[in-house]
Structure 1
């Protein structure tokens, strides 16, 4: 089963196409996000081969791996400790919701670590972007300056 999932994830990756918006290379103001061409004389709307592919059903990923994280686990969004109860660490990974605060996030992270569940957006005080880490770094620099 795991080999089959790995194979299907590879298939999904190989089918990944970059659909270019019409005129994206001509103007700076046009964003690189796909928009359907609607112009009356548009070559891309008329599906001319040289004008790039359209997002069609053939580019979809297989049903078995649709919505799956690239690591091969299904993503489950968690808001509190109660949401961790039905999670199977063998086939599921969790992503802690953005609206969860620091205190509850720590509780969820500790409980997930006990249950050996993978956290896809793990945040820690020692993480370079966290507030505590930057405060500790400043304090450490001050200590080194005092020693000199």
Structure 2
């Protein structure tokens, strides 16, 4: 099997496992496969390693103290399973940088890719870790305490 075939199977297996382990919805699994394929074509194994670290670490934080997060998820209608919208929001810019790299192979596109994954990673980690805080977060615009899980609260 050639390298492209291996990458295709690896990306497909990862997307299927994400669905099987209830980390992704069916639409999220399909979107993750497409994004992974684009990133794999553009940046190869090093791009998939960066993407894989983001997916694995964010998934672990999603499951961390899962019982404490159930009330927040019910209130905000956002579970720990990622759908296609969340996959595109977190991986769409990274996939775009991969396409740009394919069209214009310059190192700057990998920096953009890495920065976009870092931004998505920090947002996801902050949400997952912050929701376990014993203190109510502060809404950034009003500087008042709000319920945990409120977007824009820190």
Shorter-normalised TM-score: what interval?
under 0.3
Bigger strand fraction? 1
Q: Using structure 2 for the length normalisation, give the TM-score.
A: 0.20
Q: Using structure 1 for the length normalisation, give the TM-score.
A: 0.20
Larger Rg: 1
